[in-house]
Homo-oligomer: A and B are copies of this chain.
Amino acid sequence: MNDQHDQLLPAERKVVKELGHLPLDFRAMWAISNLFRSSTAIRRHMEARVLANDRLSWTSFVGLWVLWVWGPMEARAFASAVGISRPTATGVMSTLEGRGFLTRRKDPKDGRMVIAELTPSGRSTIETLFPTFNLEESAVAAPLSPAQQDDLAAMLRTLFASVATGDAGS
């Protein structure tokens, strides 16, 4: 009598009530839909609690982080690492450039390429911001045991691989 159903969120119970009669894969649905629910909520939580002080959007923050970790890189690689399209990367780079966090220069070896690089101001911003960000990540993940956190990361890598490489399904 005490089954999985009791664990569901109110919104999920409503879905069962309205769509329960249809032949759907509810197990996959709960996994995927909670992936989006939690990721959106955490993103907004981080923006409000950690990033708002520096008036930094999530994507700009990721941009700084990527350039910090990888060093100077071509616009194309930047877009890929941040996880956005090339047109979007142009805009994000312009934003960061306008705030003095980033510089653009042409690659002398290949006139098509543009190389983005952190300014000292950009570097110091991410260097002081990231530890705070990670502290909040740690707090958010705290309700999960260390082993659970490892399992979670492993399963998410599996999902990522299932759409990234083979381009899953049908």
Contact = CB atoms under 8 A, between A and B. Distances in A.
Contact of A149 (B11, B28, B38, B162): B28
The SS class assigned to the A binding surface is helix
17 contacts: A14-B69, A14-B70, A15-B69, A22-B131, A27-B153, A28-B137, A29-B134, A31-B153, A34-B156, A35-B39, A38-B156, A41-B164, A45-B167, A143-B162, A144-B155, A151-B151, A152-B156
A158 interface: yes
Interface residues of A, number: 68
A1 interface: no
A91 B144 CA distance: 37
A129 to B, nearest CB: 13
Given A25-B134, A25-B137, A136-B168, 19 more contacts: A14-B69, A18-B69, A22-B131, A27-B149, A27-B153, A28-B141, A29-B137, A31-B152, A36-B43, A39-B39, A41-B83, A41-B164, A42-B159, A135-B170, A139-B169, A140-B162, A140-B168, A143-B158, A151-B155
